[in-house]
Structure 1
Amino acid sequence: MTRWDLTAEEFKEAVLENIKNQFRRTIDQATKEQIFQAVALAVKDIIVDEWIETHKTYETKDPKTVYYLSMEFLMGRALGNSILNLRVYDVVKEVMDALDIDLNIIEDQEPDPGLGNGGLGRLAACFLDSLATLDYPAYGCGIRYRYGIFEQQIVDGYQVERPDEWLKNGNPFEIKREEYGVEVKFLGSVRVVKEPNGRDKFIHENYQSVRAVPYDIPIVGYNNYTVNTLRLWDAEAIRKFDLESFDRGEYHKAVEQENLAKTIVEVLYPNDNHYQGKELRLKQQYFFVSATVQQVLRKFKQKHTHIGLLPEKVVFHINDTHPSLAIPELMRLLLDEEGLEWDEAWALTTKTCAYTNHTIMSEALEKWPVELFSRLLPRIYMIVEEINRRFNHFLIKDYMVKKEHLHRMAIIADGDIRMAYMSIVGSYSVNGVARLHTEIIKQEVLKDFYQVYPNKFNSKTNGITQRRFLLLANPALATFITERIGSGWVTDLPQLKGLETYVDREEDQKLFMAIKQHNKERLADYIKEHEGINVDPHSIFDIQVKRLHEYKRQLMNILHVMYLYNQLKEHSDYDMVPRTFIFGAKAAPGYRRAKLIIKLINSVADVINNDPNIHHKIKVVFIENYCVSNAQIIFSAADVSEQISTASKEASGTGNMKFMLNGAVTLGTMDGANIEIVEEVGEENSFIFGMSSQEVIRFQHTGAYNPWDIYNKNKDIRKVLIQLINGYYMPDDPDLFREIYDALLDGEGQPPDPYYILKDFESYKEAQKKVDEAYRDKKRWAKMAMLNTANSGKFSSDRTIEQYATEIWGLQKTPVDIRK
């Protein structure tokens, strides 16, 4: 089957055959899960021909290819996205209707792949979609986690982590590629032997090893023939079962290798609050990087006899520091396997690797203890030591850096290996992910490196794929747009600007807001079904969904909700438009305070949602297990997009873009990509508050901020904070939230209120009042919402990828034609 001549009868026959052959059942006997599997396999059958042709084209034309290395790929469900990009949705829908099956229910059988956590992984997924749609040769490279991050359940208001068994029924879209397996080595020792030519040969001995085996998942371009690959590495034992040990009664030893392999790919981001967790995390990083670099080099050598051509054909892109071991691993292969001298190997490596920095906070820049690193990866550590030694020599010789100042820039210092520093030194490009973010890393966090390597640094503002987050997630709005400006926006998002013609037309405003209302009702139904809470779809849907971290300030949001509730309790005539505050977030398993904030949100919700005396003017909802599939429902229903991070802390954000695309109005600080959003839509169509990044940085440098001054002067804040510790929201455990109270006022050994929640609270409160006022004017609000959609064109990942491809990677479009 091909997408271009696919008929409903052909597709129906394929589905029925799959049900018979896979499950020995007929369509009327099959479960919904089995029907999903059958439909997915039929869609995969369409994809495979184009997948094969894509790689034939790449083999023939031999284009430069980017290998996008990332610990996370938050892909979302594949079935709906695949039939949309293949443009066979109408045929699939026709078949399902003929079989009296709801396609939406079948799509809901697919679990979200547990391959990512937050914005980092979702950005990587959007990038893969854009690379395929734009005909650029690319592989995504990561780990096939068996349980992903975790499935979040809320029990008595607390986050509880359950295994995310997303592979329980298999993944119908993946293909195991046993022939590409490679060995990855850990631990042991390195013996140095002098060769006859006087060169040192490094021999890794007494190591443990696992076999890395890739599973390939197709990435379908939109309305073209390109199908790129997401390659996820699984770990297998070199020898799965030791019969001799078993016969001796050493049963644990008999399966020791298999257990080692399973552990490496068990979960994304194991809790690293202990030594074993740190070791496992480092193993994971080296595992997928080594497997990828080995396999890419092997593939390169099959086609090219001269290793010096490597930078002309390959680029390894390091998505944050997690894959930064690609630099010393490539050096290891060039030195030890290819026999290159150091200078030649280093020249090739630094022309082949590029790095994206995703964090402004210096404390979040990844470091590894030398003791752990050198024990686990002895040969890699030797290479890192030599990189550091030569870099220090370069700083002294070429930049006259004094030895006492080397500590500030050294890759190895204070018993740690600084991975961001190694990524900068070993890459030819270092980019930030929004204009403000790039300026801050150049002038603050990494300013020493910027002074040494000014030409390496550049900015690439993040983007999102409109195909998933509008065309798939919000079909009614997509149709509304296409009926007015045509369908070109699907691959050229700036065409949305044409909607500005319609923003003052009353009929179009009403239609736009009717679509929003329908989406709010859909989300209200989801909340009722999954959380058991009735919410009013005619209230303002004020939404903050993102990873739970203190700098993102979910705490400020819920403190403001507590303030509003106090106003309603104190003033029976308090006038406010009913508001539904919706949260969704996962906290890292070891992040105690983030998990405590989730408990606070749910405790406040329990009190407010069960108080009949406020006449349902406030509802608070925490959506359990926030993920891509429920995000698609959430973004399309939002009135207000909460983007309230402390200025200078959020690198970019991409949720802000998804909300904007779907006609939500941003309530936020001038942080990350919010600045560029406001530039596009105008401050009059946003609600901006809080300190600037310069003000925040100044406070950090001077240490002049004292939250007690605000506490003593502001009775509203004082009342809210006292309610944290007087049992108002937790009468059975009044001290439960004291840690939050102490962190805001005393700091618990750290600077108090490090994310300036109390400092920005009054400004935030005033911005929220402006939201309330604006929403009362239906025409004004409709125009603001429409203008947000109309001006979101800059924030497509297609634009971002064009910039990466031309300005960093040097890729050429390589279109595929299956019909030739």
Structure 2
Amino acid sequence: MNRKRFVKSNLCPELTDIPPLGLDSTTLARAFRHYYTNHLGRDKSCNLLHYAYEALALVVRDRLMERWKKTRYAYDDSDCKRAYYLSLEFLMGRSLGNSILNLGLDDEVAEAMNRICLDYEELADTEQDAGLGNGGLGRLAACFLDSCATLQLPVMGYGIRYEYGMFRQRIQDGFQIEEPDHWLGAENRWEIERPEYTQRIKFGGRSEFYADHDGTMRCRWVDSRDVLAFPYDVPIPGYRNGTVNTLRLWKARATADFDLGEFNAGDYPGSVAAKNEAEKITMVLYPNDASENGKDLRLRQQYFLASASLQDILERWQTINEGDLSDFAEKNCFQLNDTHPSCAVAELMRLLLDEHKFGWDEAWQVVSNTMAYTNHTLLPEALEKWPVRLFEQLLPRLLDIIYEINARFLKEVAARWPGDMERQRRMSIIEEGPEPMVRMAYLAIVGSFSVNGVAELHSKLLQEGLFRDFYEMWPEKFNNKTNGVTQRRWLSWCNKGLGSLISDSIGEEWVTDLGQLRQLKNLVDDQAFQKRWQEVKFDNKQRLATLVEAECGVLFNPDAMFDVQVKRIHEYKRQLLNILHVIHLYDRIKRGEAENWTARCVLIGGKAAPGYAMAKLIVKLINNVARVVNNDPEVGDKLKVAFLPNYRVSAMEVIAPGTDLSEQISTAGKEASGTGNMKFMMNGALTIGTLDGANIEIREEVGEENFFLFGLTAAEVAETRRHYDPHAIIEADENLSRVMHLLQSGHFCQFEAGIFDPIIGAIQNPFDPWLVAADFADYVKMHEIAAVAYRDKKNWTRMSILNTAGSGKFSTDRTMLEYNRDIWGLQKVPAHPVGEAKTDPARALNGTRDHE
């Protein structure tokens, strides 16, 4: 493609001196009518809300564009240090409402839409969730970007523009059915194509060594099968500060659309084969890597992201600095969001060595002073390892570099611990064995100057367990950055009733300084405030009940306790423990033990990975139990159970405000942090949970009397595993014995004999790593305490207020300030005011380049 650069003389004043767009309701309404009729071609006969949503999105996007440009100019003018957040997931949710909130246009847009007889919140609800993430990792990345823009930190996100999200989950006969999530079926109004920044990505081929003009041995990657990385930019607005940062998403394209020769010869499938093969890279979020093809595709995705992003950053730097890379390390930092982008360590070495002719030591100095690694898991199987043979096939030049990094690293290990061959084996980036593997997490640690966990316990367990050898070698690298969530989306936007009540009571500063919520402690015994708090919660529960009825066909009574667990389905998160407790409650009701009963509505939601058979079977069990419970007239409204299909960001925006009791019940020592726990707490839900992840810090902030703690600690879990006997535990616990009897008798699978035998076997397995039976009795006991507490409405409301008041620590604003203080070292850079052009627009336009 041929993109001609603009030159300064081409830019007339009419193009550069554009007056700022109006923000009043009259101007917004006029702009809406323009887009609806002239741009989208609709008229009064069209009654589809989708087009009204698109018109409003374009109006709002115009206002973002002004601030986006001014932000870029401010960063360029300041010559500031920048950070780049590399993540395979960005679970952005919907953009319209969040953009309106952050631009401060809520009232103006509402008034403008009222003039046209439209409800802007209804329009916002028609937007499709962006399918760019799987769960907490991607949502955390989205919260991070929001906070960086609000704090006016020059941080740019890099990700992949998946055409299909992970999958759309449907429930059929209790089973999870995966359907394509074609979230890009309609045009995405929140992205801008940037073809001038297209990058070429290499796969396959071989390494060829040669001597350059002065006799230095160099290497080049030849005979590769290339694809193009085509960029789309998404605006990330800060909260009412004029800053709009950028998320750049890459789409894979073939170097040519099709082979005309093959087409003319009649080989129609062959003529487009290269195109299809290339575009497959960014087709689906996180392919199932249980198969060899899945592993191949996932590694391609990871390298595609790393290579495209690093090439883009280096090219931008060279354009601005006229090819000089001498102080690149001083002005740039890369944050690797989990192990997925760790190819970046070797890829930056490749670019510096092969493309920019650095020496090894010079290149390593740049890499090891710019890379920073965040670990998000305590599960060893999640620390990705790729077969060496797969690297040889796909990324031969990177494998050369990884071998060299490892050889030099092991030399350091040997110098530190002479003769300790076992330690060298443990720490090697290459895991030897029948199938040699590349340990990607180790590559990230060796190549980074900072390694952080995401909760105090998680970071401690990394240092004492998974990464102990590395911590002993480089203790100065390791640090903790407890996660958070953005209060703009997770309180101000999604819980407007509570947000207004808080602002009326303590002012609006909490929206950018969540610590201000501690002032709510002064109102905890104020009866009028309590009454308003209860009214807001009841309204939110009615909204959630409406969602559950619409999507699950189950009627929830807002007067009942709403007991909720929504998160990815995984054995360590222990949805199984939750449903065992539901069976216990059902059994009590059937036995006539319903005196002084607390009515309870249990909501569970989340997706199981397509290849995770046990997780999918747990989904089936939840739905089978729900069918039995909900259709038993003896149970009635005492207990309702629903599984919410296709759990997503927009659903959580309804769920978190309407929840009374939040289930955070992972096996201690397994959850890195959790962020759902923070969203629930912020919205006034109480937590029942283990001492795991950020639960520990939540309990510290809110007070142990306002947290329902149960279960073994991480240390006790390790000790229990040494002599774990679930059969003895079951036999000694009458409640658990009765639950197991109902499972084993087939009560919940009367026409599907034996279907839940794998679950029964897992609970009874003495090697069950999740210790479900061990924690059951304590879990039941704490639920009984919570049920009694719920019946005391005044005290429950008091505890609810204290949970919100104690949530100030768990804002990503605090998290980002800590990342910046300890890792990035960026300066705050305010955007230029709209209407003030301090930078010549030709500067940015001249930074583009031609592509053939």
Compute the TM-score of the two structures, normalised by the length of structure 1. Answer: 0.98
Give the letter for the 2:271 counterpart: A
**Cα pair 1:726 1:735 within 8 Å, conserved:** no
Give the letter for the 1:779 counterpart: K
**Cα pair 1:536 1:580 within 8 Å, conserved:** yes
Residue 22 of structure 1 corresponds to: 39
Percent identical among aligned pairs is 48
The answer to whether 1:796 aligns with 2:817 is no
**Cα pair 2:733 2:777 within 8 Å, conserved:** no
The answer to whether 1:137 aligns with 2:154 is yes
Q: Supply the distance in 1 between the matched residues of 2:50 and 2:577 (Cα, whole angstroms).
A: 42
What's the secondary structure of 2:369's corresponding residue?
helix
Q: Supply the distance in 1 between the matched residues of 2:415 and 2:697 (Cα, whole angstroms).
A: 41
RMSD: 1.3
The answer to whether 1:318 aligns with 2:339 is no
5 Å-filtered alignment, 1:403-482, equals 403-414=421-432, 415-482=436-503
**Cα pair 1:395 1:401 within 8 Å, conserved:** no
Residue 720 of structure 1 corresponds to: 739
- 1:43: Cα distance to partner? 0.4
Give the letter for the 2:754 counterpart: D
The answer to whether 1:115 aligns with 2:132 is yes
- 1:573: Cα distance to partner? 4.2
Q: Supply the distance in 2 between the matched residues of 1:2 and 1:354 (Cα, whole angstroms).
A: 41
Q: Supply the distance in 1 between the matched residues of 2:655 and 2:20 (Cα, whole angstroms).
A: 31
Q: Supply the distance in 1 between the matched residues of 2:29 and 2:797 (Cα, whole angstroms).
A: 43
Q: Could you report, residue by residue, the CA deviation over 1:259-284 in whole angstroms, capped at 9, with x for unpaired residues?
A: 01220011111011100010000000
Q: 1:207 to 1:370 in 2, by over 3 A?
A: same
**4+ runs of 1 displaced by more than 4 Å?**
1-5
Give the letter for the 2:787 counterpart: D
Q: Could you report, residue by residue, the CA deviation over 1:405-439 in whole angstroms, capped at 9, with x for unpaired residues?
A: 31111100131111111111000000000001000
5 Å-filtered alignment, 1:672-751, equals 672-700=693-721, 703-746=722-765
Q: Supply the distance in 1 between the matched residues of 2:318 and 2:64 (Cα, whole angstroms).
A: 29
Give the letter for the 2:250 counterpart: W
Give the letter for the 2:485 counterpart: I
Residue 307 of structure 2 corresponds to: 290
Give the letter for the 1:776 counterpart: R
Residue 598 of structure 2 corresponds to: 577
Give the letter for the 1:63 counterpart: C
**Cα pair 2:423 2:469 within 8 Å, conserved:** no
Q: Supply the distance in 2 between the matched residues of 1:818 and 1:167 (Cα, whole angstroms).
A: 33
Q: Supply the distance in 1 between the matched residues of 2:653 and 2:731 (Cα, whole angstroms).
A: 43
Q: Which of residues 267, 284, 307 is equivalent to 1:250?
A: 267
**Cα pair 2:662 2:680 within 8 Å, conserved:** yes
- 1:752: Cα distance to partner? 2.8
Q: Could you report, residue by residue, the CA deviation over 1:372-424 in whole angstroms, capped at 9, with x for unpaired residues?
A: 11211000011011111111111002332522431111100131111111111
Q: Could you report, residue by residue, the CA deviation over 1:510-549 in whole angstroms, capped at 9, with x for unpaired residues?
A: 1101110110011111111121111111000000011111
Residue 5 of structure 2 corresponds to: none
- 1:634: Cα distance to partner? 0.1
What's the secondary structure of 1:77's corresponding residue?
coil
Residue 257 of structure 2 corresponds to: 240
Q: Supply the distance in 1 between the matched residues of 2:120 and 2:451 (Cα, whole angstroms).
A: 44
Q: Supply the distance in 2 between the matched residues of 1:251 and 1:401 (Cα, whole angstroms).
A: 61
Give the letter for the 1:346 counterpart: W
Q: Supply the distance in 2 between the matched residues of 1:573 and 1:86 (Cα, whole angstroms).
A: 52
Give the letter for the 2:264 counterpart: D
- 1:207: Cα distance to partner? 1.4
The answer to whether 1:616 aligns with 2:645 is no
- 1:722: Cα distance to partner? 2.9
Residue 242 of structure 2 corresponds to: 225
Q: Supply the distance in 1 between the matched residues of 2:668 and 2:627 (Cα, whole angstroms).
A: 31
What's the secondary structure of 1:742's corresponding residue?
helix
Give the letter for the 2:822 counterpart: E
Q: Supply the distance in 2 between the matched residues of 1:657 and 1:731 (Cα, whole angstroms).
A: 39
Residue 530 of structure 1 corresponds to: 551
What's the secondary structure of 2:230's corresponding residue?
strand
Moved more, 170-179 or 567-576: 567-576
Residue 639 of structure 1 corresponds to: 660
Moved more, 189-198 or 798-807: 189-198
Moved more, 763-772 or 253-262: 253-262
Moved more, 401-410 or 552-561: 401-410
**Cα pair 2:209 2:220 within 8 Å, conserved:** yes
Q: Supply the distance in 2 between the matched residues of 1:151 and 1:807 (Cα, whole angstroms).
A: 39
Give the letter for the 1:69 counterpart: L
Q: 1:679 to 1:401 in 2, by over 3 A?
A: farther
**Cα pair 1:547 1:585 within 8 Å, conserved:** yes
Residue 752 of structure 1 corresponds to: 767
Q: Supply the distance in 2 between the matched residues of 1:655 and 1:3 (Cα, whole angstroms).
A: 39
- 1:557: Cα distance to partner? 0.2
Give the letter for the 1:329 counterpart: E
Give the letter for the 2:96 counterpart: L
Q: Supply the distance in 2 between the matched residues of 1:468 and 1:808 (Cα, whole angstroms).
A: 26
What's the secondary structure of 1:484's corresponding residue?
helix
Q: Could you report, residue by residue, the CA deviation over 1:669-704 in whole angstroms, capped at 9, with x for unpaired residues?
A: 01100110111110101100001111112334xx21
Residue 352 of structure 2 corresponds to: 334
**Cα pair 1:130 1:465 within 8 Å, conserved:** yes
Q: Which of residues 19, 41, 55 is equivalent to 2:58?
A: 41
**Cα pair 2:259 2:271 within 8 Å, conserved:** yes
- 1:126: Cα distance to partner? 0.3
What's the secondary structure of 1:325's corresponding residue?
helix
Residue 537 of structure 2 corresponds to: 516
Give the letter for the 1:375 counterpart: Q
Give the letter for the 1:356 counterpart: T
Q: Supply the distance in 2 between the matched residues of 1:194 and 1:14 (Cα, whole angstroms).
A: 62
- 1:27: Cα distance to partner? 4.5
Q: Could you report, residue by residue, the CA deviation over 1:141-165 in whole angstroms, capped at 9, with x for unpaired residues?
A: 0000000111111111111111111
Q: Which of residues 272, 288, 296 is equivalent to 1:271?
A: 288
Residue 184 of structure 1 corresponds to: 201
Residue 232 of structure 2 corresponds to: 215
**Cα pair 2:178 2:610 within 8 Å, conserved:** yes
Q: Supply the distance in 2 between the matched residues of 1:205 and 1:614 (Cα, whole angstroms).
A: 69
**Cα pair 2:40 2:55 within 8 Å, conserved:** no
Q: Supply the distance in 1 between the matched residues of 2:760 and 2:271 (Cα, whole angstroms).
A: 52
- 1:129: Cα distance to partner? 0.2
Residue 523 of structure 2 corresponds to: 502
Q: Which runs of 5+ in 2 are unaligned?
A: 1-17, 837-852
Q: Which of residues 399, 403, 416 is equivalent to 1:398?
A: 416
Q: Supply the distance in 1 between the matched residues of 2:720 and 2:369 (Cα, whole angstroms).
A: 39
Q: Supply the distance in 2 between the matched residues of 1:573 and 1:327 (Cα, whole angstroms).
A: 60
Q: Supply the distance in 1 between the matched residues of 2:157 and 2:320 (Cα, whole angstroms).
A: 21
Q: 1:732 to 1:434 in 2, by over 3 A?
A: same
- 1:198: Cα distance to partner? 3.2
**Cα pair 1:568 1:574 within 8 Å, conserved:** no
- 1:483: Cα distance to partner? 0.7
Q: Which runs of 5+ in 1 are unaligned?
A: none
5 Å-filtered alignment, 1:352-391, equals 352-391=370-409
Q: Supply the distance in 2 between the matched residues of 1:817 and 1:364 (Cα, whole angstroms).
A: 43
Q: Which of residues 135, 140, 151 is equivalent to 2:168?
A: 151
Residue 781 of structure 1 corresponds to: 796
Give the letter for the 2:297 counterpart: L
Give the letter for the 1:727 counterpart: G
Residue 577 of structure 2 corresponds to: 556
Moved more, 323-332 or 25-34: 25-34
Residue 606 of structure 1 corresponds to: 627
Q: Which of residues 514, 520, 534 is equivalent to 1:493?
A: 514
Q: Could you report, residue by residue, the CA deviation over 1:203-254 in whole angstroms, capped at 9, with x for unpaired residues?
A: 2222111110110000000010110001000111101111101112222221
Residue 70 of structure 1 corresponds to: 87
Q: Supply the distance in 2 between the matched residues of 1:401 and 1:596 (Cα, whole angstroms).
A: 49
- 1:291: Cα distance to partner? 0.2
**Cα pair 1:728 1:734 within 8 Å, conserved:** no
- 1:312: Cα distance to partner? 1.3
Q: Supply the distance in 2 between the matched residues of 1:404 and 1:35 (Cα, whole angstroms).
A: 65
How many pairs align? 814
